[in-house]
C-alpha cells in the first residue's frame, strides 16, 4: 500500500504489523551521530514534525554539480534504541526506517506517540538507492561526515514492511517467540 | 611476471565479487522466493533481493553498501612470491576503493580512524598457500559486518542446550545459533560450520567451507547427512528472510571438521548473509585468466 506525505498520526495509526508499504515523500537519514547529537540537546536543522527518519549511511557523490545516491540500504537500528523513543516524542517523528527491528522501549513510544517501525530489506543498496529520486539537502555534514549527516531524500515508492506498529504489535517479538517454540520442539 | 597485469586482473576480480553474485546463490534466492506464499512479507523481501542482484550487476555497483571484510586466499606458484602478490592485491584494493567497488571499510581499532583505502593491520585478510602446479589460483570473499556480528562459537558440552560432545550436540548448538541470529544477519543465511580445532582455526575453517558450491554434497557422508538435517530443521524455525517469518531461513549449510585437543570441543559457525559475495580465478604464468571459479 502507498504511504504518502504528509505522514499524519492518523495515517500512521492505521498501519499494522505485516503491512507492506511504499513510501513517497521526504525522509531524513540519521544514524549514530545524529541520534546522539539530538539526544544531547542539539538543535535539529530540519523540522522533524510528522517526519520519517531513515537509519542509513548512504553513499552520495556529486556528478556534474548534482548529488547522486549510489547506495542507500538500511543500517542496524538497535544501536539507537536508547534514544529513539524519546526523540520521537520530543520532535514528533512519526516513523523510523531501518533493519533488524528495535526493542521494547521504542515499541512503547510507538504506542504512546503514534509511531511505526518500517523494516527495509537489508543489503538492497541498489534497489533502495533507485527509489531516492532527488537529494533535497544535506545537514551537519561538516560536523559528522557524509555517511553520518542528515540527508534530505525525496523518495518515491520506497519499499518497506511495518514490523512494529502503534498498537503494541511487533513482528520481531512474534517471530522470535514462534521460532523459539519450534526450536524447543526440535530439541525434544 | 607482469605485476601490472596481475593488478588489473585482481581489480576485475574485486569488481565482479562486489557487483555480481555467483549463480548458485542467485538460484537459491529464486528457489526460496518460489517457496514463499504470494503476497507474503517473505516473498516480497526475496523479490526485492532478486531485483537488487540484477540491478547491481547491470550497473556494476556494489550489491550491498557494506562491502565487508576483504578475505583473500592465494595459491602461489614458484613464479609469484608472497610479497609481489600482496603488493599487487593491495594496489587493486586501493583502486577499487577509489572507484567505488569497495566502501571505505577499514577502521583503526584503537583510534577509530578510517584508513580511507581499506588497508591497515589485518586488512585485507590474506591466506597464502603454495600451489602444486604452474597456475596461480585466487579466491576472495567479502564478508559483511551485520552477518559477522551474528556468527558464533560454542564450547561443548553446553548444559543449557543439553549439547554433549557428539554430532547431536553439534546439531543443537548450530540450530541455537540460527535462532539467536533471527533476521539480524540479513538472512536468508548460509552457514559455514567447523567442528573442532582451536578457537582461531575453527572460525577460519568455517569461513573456508563457504567457498563450496551451495548445491554440492559433502564428501563425508556423516557431515552430508547433518548438513541436510540442519538445512531442513533451520528452515522449519520459520524465521524467514529478514526475520519477517517464512520458509526460507537458510540458503545453505556447509560443515567441515578439524582435530581438537582432548580438553576442548569448539563448534564455530560463520553466518553469511544473502549478499554472499565470493569469486576467484585461475591465472596462467603468461598472466591470462584461464578460468573463473564461479559463474556470475
Ligand atoms: S549483513 Fe550482508 S546484506 Fe546485510 S548489510 Fe551487511 S553485508 Fe549487506
Domain span at residue B229? 146-272
Query: Which has the closest alpha carbon to B105: B138, B152, B144, B52?
Result: B144
Shared domain for B159 and B216, answered yes or no, is yes
Percent of chain A exceeding pLDDT 70 equals 100
The nearest CA of chain A is from the CA of B235 a distance in Å of 10
Shared domain for B123 and B265, answered yes or no, is no
| Confidence at residue A59, expressed as pLDDT on a 0 to 100 scale | 85
Burial B276-289 (b: 16+ CB within 10 A, else e): bbbbbbbbeeeeee
Name the residue with higher pLDDT: A64 or B127. B127
Shared domain for B211 and B241, answered yes or no, is yes
Does the residue B48 lie in any domain? no
Determine if ligand 1 sits within 6 Å of the CB of residue B189: no
Does the residue B57 lie in any domain? no
Strands (DSSP E) contained in chain B are: 69-76, 125-130, 136-143, 152-155, 189-196, 250-258, 266-272, 277-283, 289-292
Interface test with A, best of B55, B243, B275 (most A CBs within 10 A): B243
CA separation for the pair A181, B172 (Å, rounded): 14
Shared domain for B249 and B156, answered yes or no, is yes
Q: What is the pLDDT of residues B67-78, one digit of tens each?
A: 999 999 999 999
Looking at residues B92-121, what average pLDDT do you find? 93
Shared domain for B192 and B240, answered yes or no, is yes
Q: How many domains are contained in chain B? A: 2
Q: Is A132 helix (H, G, I), strand (E, B) or coil?
A: strand
Looking at residues A29-33, what average pLDDT do you find? 94
Cβ distance B244 to A163 less than 8 Å, yes or no, reads yes
Cβ distance A186 to B179 less than 8 Å, yes or no, reads no
Q: Give me ligand 1 centre to Cα A73, in Å.
A: 9
| Confidence at residue A147, expressed as pLDDT on a 0 to 100 scale | 85
pLDDT at B19 over 90: yes
Cβ distance B65 to A57 less than 8 Å, yes or no, reads yes
Cβ distance A119 to B242 less than 8 Å, yes or no, reads yes
* Assigned C-alpha cell, A147: 555517511
CATH number assigned to the domain comprising residue B75: 3.30.360
| Confidence at residue A60, expressed as pLDDT on a 0 to 100 scale | 87
Interface pTM, i.e. ipTM: 0.93
Do B32 and B46 meet the contact criterion of CB atoms below 8 Å apart?
A: yes
Average pLDDT score, chain B: 97
Cβ distance B55 to A127 less than 8 Å, yes or no, reads yes
Whether the model pTM is above 0.90: yes
Shared domain for B150 and B259, answered yes or no, is yes
pLDDT at A58 over 80: yes
| Confidence at residue A63, expressed as pLDDT on a 0 to 100 scale | 86
Query: Which has the closest alpha carbon to A82: A51, A53, A136, A40?
Result: A40
Shared domain for B81 and B112, answered yes or no, is yes
Q: What is the pLDDT of residues A44-56, one digit of tens each?
A: 999 999 999 999 9
Do A125 and A71 meet the contact criterion of CB atoms below 8 Å apart?
A: yes
Shared domain for B95 and B10, answered yes or no, is yes
| Confidence at residue A146, expressed as pLDDT on a 0 to 100 scale | 83
Q: What is the pLDDT of residues B238-278, one digit of tens each?
A: 999 999 999 999 999 999 999 999 999 999 999 999 999 99
| Confidence at residue B2, expressed as pLDDT on a 0 to 100 scale | 86
Question: What confidence tier does B228 reach under pLDDT thresholds 50, 70, 90?
Answer: very high
Q: Is A74 helix (H, G, I), strand (E, B) or coil?
A: coil
Looking at residues A95-119, what average pLDDT do you find? 97
Residue B100's region, left for phi above 0, alpha for psi from -120 to 50, else beta, is left
Percent of chain A exceeding pLDDT 90 equals 90
Residue with CA nearest ligand 1 atom 8: A123
Shared domain for B285 and B238, answered yes or no, is no
Determine if ligand 1 sits within 6 Å of the CB of residue B242: no
Looking at residues A55-81, what average pLDDT do you find? 91
| Confidence at residue A91, expressed as pLDDT on a 0 to 100 scale | 97
Q: What is the pLDDT of residues A129-180, one digit of tens each?
A: 999 999 999 999 988 888 899 999 999 999 999 999 999 999 999 999 999 9
Shared domain for B7 and B137, answered yes or no, is yes
Chain B hits for A58, Cβ within 8 Å: 65
Do B134 and B77 meet the contact criterion of CB atoms below 8 Å apart?
A: yes
Does the residue B229 lie in any domain? yes
Query: Which has the closest alpha carbon to B241: B174, B176, B186?
Result: B186
The nearest CA of chain B is from the CA of A114 a distance in Å of 22
| Confidence at residue A127, expressed as pLDDT on a 0 to 100 scale | 96
Determine if ligand 1 sits within 6 Å of the CB of residue B147: yes
Q: Which atom belonging to ligand 1 lies closest to the Cα atom of A122?
A: 4
Q: Which CATH number fits domain A2-187: 3.40.50.150, 3.20.130.10, 3.40.50.410, 3.40.50.10090?
A: 3.20.130.10
Question: What confidence tier does A187 reach under pLDDT thresholds 50, 70, 90?
Answer: very high
Q: What is the pLDDT of residues B163-172, one digit of tens each?
A: 999 999 999 9
Shared domain for B120 and B107, answered yes or no, is yes
| Confidence at residue B126, expressed as pLDDT on a 0 to 100 scale | 98
| Confidence at residue A70, expressed as pLDDT on a 0 to 100 scale | 86
Average pLDDT score, chain A: 95
Does the residue B191 lie in any domain? yes
> What are the sequence ranges of the domains in chain A?
2-187
| Confidence at residue B1, expressed as pLDDT on a 0 to 100 scale | 77
The nearest CA of chain B is from the CA of A112 a distance in Å of 24
CA separation for the pair A76, B169 (Å, rounded): 31
Looking at residues A73-100, what average pLDDT do you find? 96
A82 burial level (CB within 10 Å; 0-12, 13-18, 19+): middle
Interface test with A, best of B144, B241, B242 (most A CBs within 10 A): B242
Ligand 1 pocket mutation, candidates B18, B46, B52, B146, criterion most atoms within 8 A of CB: B146
Shared domain for B130 and B222, answered yes or no, is no
Query: Which has the closest alpha carbon to B9: B71, B96, B68, B75?
Result: B96
Does the residue B30 lie in any domain? no
pLDDT at A25 over 90: yes
Amino acid at each position: 500500500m502507498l504511504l504518502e506525505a504528509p505522514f499524519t498520526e492518523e495515517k500512521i495509526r492505521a498501519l499494522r504489523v505485516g503491512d507492506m508499504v511504499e513510501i513517497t515523500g521526504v525522509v531524513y537519514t540519521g544514524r549514530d551521530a545524529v541520534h546522539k547529537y539530538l539526544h544531547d540537546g542539539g538543535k535539529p536543522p530540519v523540522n522533524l514534525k510528522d517526519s520519517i527518519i531513515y537509519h542509513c549511511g548512504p553513499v552520495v557523490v556529486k556528478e556534474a554539480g548534482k548529488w547522486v545516491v549510489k547506495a542507500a540500504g538500511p543500517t542496524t537500528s538497535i544501536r539507537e534504541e536508547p534514544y529513539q523513543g524519546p526523540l520521537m516524542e520530543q520532535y514528533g517523528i512519526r516513523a523510523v526506517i531501518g533493519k533488524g527491528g528495535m526493542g521494547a522501549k521504542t515499541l512503547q513510544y510507538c504506542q504512546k506517540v503514534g509511531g511505526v517501525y518500517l523494516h527495509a530489506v537489508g543489503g538492497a543498496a541498489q534497489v533502495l538507492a533507485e527509489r531516492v529520486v532527488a537529494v533535497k539537502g544535506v545537514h551537519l555534514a561538516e560536523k559528522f561526515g557524509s555517511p553520518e549527516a542528515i540527508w534530505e531524500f525525496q523518495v518515491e515508492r520506497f519499499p518497506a514492511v511495518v514490523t512494529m506498529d502503534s498498537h503494541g504489535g511487533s513482528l520481531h517479538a512474534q517471530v522470535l517467540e514462534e521460532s523459539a517454540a519450534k526450536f524447543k520442539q526440535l530439541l525434544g | 611476471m607482469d605485476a601490472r597485469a596481475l593488478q588489473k586482473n585482481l581489480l576485475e576480480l574485486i569488481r565482479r565479487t562486489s557487483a555480481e553474485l555467483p549463480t548458485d546463490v542467485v538460484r537459491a534466492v529464486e528457489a526460496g522466493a518460489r517457496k514463499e506464499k504470494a503476497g507474503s512479507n517473505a516473498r516480497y523481501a526475496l523479490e526485492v533481493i532478486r531485483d537488487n542482484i540484477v540491478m547491481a550487476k547491470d550497473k556494476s555497483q556494489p550489491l550491498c553498501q557494506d562491502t565487508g571484510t576483504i578475505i583473500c586466499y592465494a595459491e602461489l606458484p614458484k613464479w609469484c612470491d608472497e610479497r609481489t602478490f600482496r603488493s599487487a592485491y593491495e594496489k587493486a584494493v586501493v583502486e577499487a576503493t577509489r572507484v567505488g567497488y569497495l566502501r571505505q571499510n577499514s577502521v583503526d581499532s584503537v583510534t577509530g580512524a578510517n584508513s580511507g583505502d581499506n588497508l591497515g593491520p589485518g586488512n585485507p585478510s590474506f591466506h597464502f598457500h603454495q600451489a602444486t602446479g604452474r597456475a596461480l589460483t585466487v579466491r576472495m570473499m567479502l564478508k559483511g559486518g551485520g552477518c559477522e556480528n551474528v556468527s558464533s562459537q560454542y564450547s561443548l558440552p553446553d548444559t543449557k542446550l543439553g549439547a554433549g560432545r557428539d554430532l547431536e550436540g553439534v546439531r543443537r548448538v548450530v540450530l541455537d545459533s540460527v535462532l539467536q541470529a533471527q533476521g539480524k544477519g540479513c538472512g536468508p543465511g548460509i552457514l559455514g560450520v567447523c567442528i573442532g580445532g582451536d578457537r582461531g582455526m575453527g572460525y577460519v575453517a568455517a569461513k573456508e567451507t563457504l567457498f563450496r558450491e551451495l548445491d554440492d554434497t559433502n564428501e563425508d557422508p556423516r557431515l552430508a547427512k547433518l548438513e541436510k538435517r540442519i538445512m531442513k530443521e533451520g528452515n522449519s524455525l520459520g524465521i524467514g528472510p529478514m526475520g519477517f517469518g517464512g520458509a526460507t531461513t537458510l540458503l545453505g549449510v556447509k560443515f567441515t571438521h578439524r582435530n581438537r585437543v582432548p580438553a576442548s570441543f569448539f563448534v564455530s559457525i560463520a553466518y553469511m548473509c544473502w549478499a554472499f559475495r565470493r569469486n576467484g580465478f585461475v591465472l596462467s604464468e603468461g598472466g591470462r585468466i584461464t578460468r573463473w571459479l564461479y559463474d556470475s
